[in-house]
Chains A and B, each alone.
Chain A
Amino acid sequence: MTQALDCAISTRDRYHDEDKYFTIPKPICPYGPDDESLSVDFEPTYSAVGFPSLPDESSNIFDENLNKHLMSRTPGSLPVHIIGIYGGLLADPKLVNYAVLIRVSDNQTATPTVQPAWREESASSTSEVLTRQEIELSVISAIQRLKHWGLDDEAENSLLQDLKAIVKRWGNRAARVLGDIISNGIENPSVAREVLRAVGEIRDARTNRKRLLLLERALESKSLYVRDGALLGLASMCSVKSLPALRAAMNKEKGKIFREDIAQVIKLIQQENP
């Protein structure tokens, strides 16, 4: 019998811990929480999906543990083999729990049949959601690294490189996630300022419009730091398309100092785009 199944696994603490907990959400896999054999301690917030990879050492560990678990719960069941990992063993922001969505088969020679999620223009809603989670985790991790390392040139450049890589990989989806994370409010306004500056520094024509819009929106923030970061981002993008938003912000701005900063950027954009 050859059958490929999608299933989700969440682990506690570390991959190589003895005790693995996993379950398979019903919409994804025929095994569901109702199935005694696999209904264990699943925390849906940690499920993540990204791209299939060939089984590696970590997947072998899963493979082994999954089979141990299956055998213990359902004696006599056929061994299954992981044939693709979706999500690259992503960690949640606290780096405690891990989750992967895997594709398993009872045929050792089976190969992954699902294309990488980011290549699918019309990805299924499940993989879309899970891809979004992976992008979110990548962005949050990049931002947290900046927070922990402190705001120096090296750390800021590292953030820029991380965001460049994320946007390059996921395009507008990443820009959308970035926009949401920023509009939901990054806890530390100084960090938000650097994130916005980096958003403007990324050179990626596909996402220009989205990034411009998110920076323009941030220009309306109540926080001066956030507005300033948005202004720096728009200065980096140097697009005439942002001039109306910049003029509107200038008219609205009460403080003379920041108004002058906006005027400086408007002048720059006009000079650079004669």
Chain B
Amino acid sequence: MTYYLRRVKNKAAWDFEVFREFVERHDVPTDALGHLDTDHNCLSVWEIGTNQEDLIRVVEALATEREYLKPLEYILFSPDIPTRLGIEVRMTPVDRLLVKSVTGWHRDLVIPAGTKLLEFAATIFPDQKPARILEQDILKIIAQGIREDRIPRSFVSKLKDSDDRKKLERLLDSASGDLFPTSP
């Protein structure tokens, strides 16, 4: 079994329990819709297995694309939904990533029409799971990735905030190599 993972700006916008009226109307809050920005009419998602290892690999990839340490928020939904809606799914490896092992896990959902995007968003809204990896866990995941050579150590210097660099350096220098994320 697999999921599609889509990074979102603010998982609270996807809280279908709080925004229940949208579920009832088969609609989606505009804020949530705004997180589904497309590029060349393609919506970028990652296909991952249900195991934590896959999630951590994708988190490594997404977190190391950024220049600041901050929580990573995402939604998970079933790959059946795009298929059911007749949305074309393309396998589109991403070469720019620092974490090469997940390159082949990237998918583009081809959604040329705005109405289709809205239909897609309204369909996944009640069926997705919003989640978040906290900053402290991001830090641990990156440190572990560096220790295990999946992430180049040079990533540390890519971080723009000196506090972020210090935090990561401190963690890398600490004896503990354990990774116990609190996040799912």
Q: Is the interface of B mostly helix, strand, loop or mixed?
A: loop
Enumerate chain B residues within 8 angstroms of A258, measured Cβ to Cβ: 12, 15, 17-18
B68 at the interface (CB under 8 A from A): yes
Q: Chain A contact residues (Cβ within 8 angstroms of B): what range?
A: 20 to 34
A172 at the interface (CB under 8 A from B): no
B90 at the interface (CB under 8 A from A): no
A 249-274 contacts with B by CB, 8 A: 254-258, 261, 264-265, 267-268, 271-272
Contact between B68 and A153, CB atoms less than 8 A apart: yes
Residue on A nearest B163 in the bound complex, by CB: A203
A151 at the interface (CB under 8 A from B): yes
Q: Chain B contact residues (Cβ within 8 angstroms of A): what range?
A: 20 to 34
A224 at the interface (CB under 8 A from B): yes
Contact between A264 and B18, CB atoms less than 8 A apart: no
Contact between B31 and A190, CB atoms less than 8 A apart: yes
Contact between B163 and A268, CB atoms less than 8 A apart: no
Given the known A-B contacts A153-B68, A258-B18, are A190 and B10 also in contact in the complex, defined by CB atoms under 8 Å? yes
Enumerate chain A residues within 8 angstroms of B163, measured Cβ to Cβ: 203
B67 at the interface (CB under 8 A from A): yes
B135 at the interface (CB under 8 A from A): yes
The listed residue (B10, B31, B160, B180) touching A271 by CB distance below 8 A is B180
B 23-78 contacts with A by CB, 8 A: 31, 66-68, 70-71
Enumerate chain B residues within 8 angstroms of A261, measured Cβ to Cβ: 11, 132
The CA-CA distance from A255 to B11 in the complex, in Å, is 14
A6 at the interface (CB under 8 A from B): no
The listed residue (A157, A228, A264, A272) touching B161 by CB distance below 8 A is A157
B97 at the interface (CB under 8 A from A): no
12 contacts between A and B (CB under 8 A): A157-B68, A203-B163, A224-B12, A225-B10, A225-B13, A235-B134, A255-B15, A257-B16, A258-B18, A268-B136, A268-B137, A272-B136
Residues in A lying within 8 Å of B, measured CB to CB:
151, 153, 156-157, 160, 190, 193, 203, 224-225, 228, 232, 235-236, 238, 254-258, 261, 264-265, 267-268, 271-272
Known: A193-B10, A257-B17, A265-B134. 8 other contacts (CB 8 A): A151-B9, A203-B163, A224-B18, A236-B135, A257-B18, A257-B130, A258-B15, A264-B134
